[in-house]
Amino acid sequence: MGVPDIVVPVREGAVNEQLRYALRSWAAHLPHGRVWLVGHRPQWAAGAGHIPTRQTGTKYQNTTVAVRAACEHPDVAGQFLLCNDDMFVMHPMEEMPVLHRGPVRTVESYYAARASGKYLRGMRETRKLLESLGHPDPVSYELHVPLPADKTGMLKALDTGRHLDVVHKRTLYGVLNGLGGERIRDVKILHRAPRGYGPESPFLSTMPDSFAHGHVGQFIRRAFPEPSHYETRRR
């Protein structure tokens, strides 16, 4: 079996410096075939494959449309890594491991103590759907790291959760396909301060502010100073 492609839903209208450095990190450290930007492709990223989509829904609906479009595209490899444009692989990998966040109920409690909204509602609805399908204590795959997936299994998961407004597609796919994997803490860095990560961190993810103005953004930019072959010109 060959190396997987990388599939990245990308929102419209952004220069997207996080994506630039995510691509640099994948080119350097993550074995893969082609990279597919699904939705928007910044002008500078002409070296990556592009699958255009209409982005007329919520951000959750738009990413679901993007993942379905990638799974239905004949040129995307059967095995792929589902990434976001703010996921950085900081050390060389022979292959991407399967990682999860632990029980959905635990993640749900964490979010319920801090906020409410569509994301939390989608988490609950996805958990209840999985429970109804015979998974009484599902684990969450909603981590900010690449997720190994296959087109057939992902399409079945998307069809199963089609009626949900905010489907947690990573979790639905991972549980329905019995991925298993290793439990880790999420790697998202929300703040500007130099804490919560270090040179030993294999994966990082950022917010726009923490990338642009925080210590973690400086750390990532210093790690990948050279353009990748996905960029059309030097920066």
pLDDT band of residue 174 (cuts 50, 70, 90) is very high
pLDDT band of residue 1 (cuts 50, 70, 90) is low
pLDDT band of residue 234 (cuts 50, 70, 90) is very low
pLDDT band of residue 70 (cuts 50, 70, 90) is very high
Distance (Å, whole) CA 235 – CA 135 = 48
Give the chain's mean pLDDT: 95
Identify whether the C-beta of residue 17 lies closer than 8 Å to the C-beta of residue 211.
Answer: yes
Instruction: Give the H/E segment covering residue 110.
Output: helix 104-112
Query: What is the per-residue pLDDT for 33?
Result: 97
Distance (Å, whole) CA 177 – CA 149 = 9
Query: What average pLDDT does this structure show over 131-159?
Result: 98
Burial (CB count <10 Å: 0-12, 13-18, 19+), residue 205: buried
The encoded tokens of residue 125 equal: 């609805």
Query: What is the per-residue pLDDT for 235?
Result: 43
The model's pLDDT over 75-134, given as tens digits with 9 standing for 90+, comes to 999 999 999 999 999 999 999 999 999 999 999 999 998 877 999 999 999 999 999 999
Domains observed in the chain:
5-185 (3.90.550)
Query: What is the per-residue pLDDT for 13?
Result: 78
Closest CA to 35 of 20, 57, 14, 56: 20
Query: What is the per-residue pLDDT for 46?
Result: 87
pLDDT above 70: percentage of residues in the chain:
98
pLDDT band of residue 194 (cuts 50, 70, 90) is very high
Has residue 233 got a pLDDT over 70? no
Higher pLDDT, 233 or 84: 84
Has residue 21 got a pLDDT over 90? yes
